[in-house]
Amino acid sequence: DLEETGSFGFLTDKRLFQLFEPRLLNIDLFHKHITKRLNIEHQLFYNVAAETEFALRNIRTTYDYLYRLPNGDAFDEYDVSTFRFTAQWSPFSTFEYINRSIRETRRAYPNFSFQYTKAFRDVFQGDLSFSKFDFRAIQQFDHVNTAQTEIILSAGIVNGDVPLQYAYHAYPNNVNKETIMNRFSVAGINSFETMYFNEFFSERFASLVFRHRLKAFEISPTFKPELVLLTKIAVGDFDDTERHENISFGTLEKGFTESGIELNKLLFGFGLSFAYRYGAYHLPKFEDNIAFKFTFKLSLN
Residue 249 sits in a domain of what CATH number? Answer: 2.40.160
Residue 136 covered by a domain: yes
- The strand ranges marked E within the chain are 2-4, 30-45, 48-61, 66-68, 74-75, 77-89, 94-98, 101-106, 111-119, 130-142, 148-160, 172-174, 192-196, 204-213, 226-237, 244-245, 256-267, 270-278, 290-296
Average pLDDT over residues 2-8: 86
**Which residues are paired to 296 by β-bridges?**
270
Cα–Cα distance for residue pair 129/78, rounded to 1 Å: 12
Domains identified in the chain, total number: 1
pLDDT at 285 over 80: yes
Percent over 90 (pLDDT), the chain: 62
| pLDDT digits 0-9 by tens, 36-59 | 999 999 888 888 999 999 999 999
- Residue 21's pLDDT band, with cuts at 50, 70 and 90, is low
Q: How confident is the model at residue 156 (pLDDT cuts 50, 70, 90)?
A: very high
Compute the chain's Rg from CA coordinates. 21
Q: What is the pLDDT of residue 299?
A: 59
pLDDT at 58 (0 to 100): 94
Q: Is residue 301 part of a domain?
A: no
How much is the pLDDT for 296?
Answer: 84
pLDDT for the residue numbered 96: 83
Which residues span the domain enclosing 55?
Answer: 2-296
Give pLDDT, residue 144: 87
Instruction: Give the confidence band of 17 by pLDDT, cuts at 50, 70, 90.
Output: very low
243-253: average pLDDT: 93
pLDDT exceeds cutoff 90 at 254? yes
In angstroms, what CA-CA distances link 21 with 128, 186, 188, 268? 30, 10, 6, 18
pLDDT higher than threshold 50 for residue 202: yes
pLDDT value at 301 more than 60 = no
* pLDDT at 136 exceeding the cut of 90: yes
pTM of the model: 0.91
Number of Cα atoms under 13 Å in the Cβ half of residue 107: 11
Mean pLDDT for all residues in the chain = 90
pLDDT of residue 19: 54
Average pLDDT over residues 77-103: 89
pLDDT band, very low/low/confident/very high, at 159 (cuts 50, 70, 90) = very high
**127-147: average pLDDT:** 94
Please choose, from the candidates 217, 138, 230, the residue with its C-alpha nearest in 3D space to the C-alpha of residue 187.
230
pLDDT confidence band for 98 (50 / 70 / 90): confident
266 in a structural domain: yes
How confident is the model at residue 104, as a pLDDT?
79
Average pLDDT over residues 200-214: 96
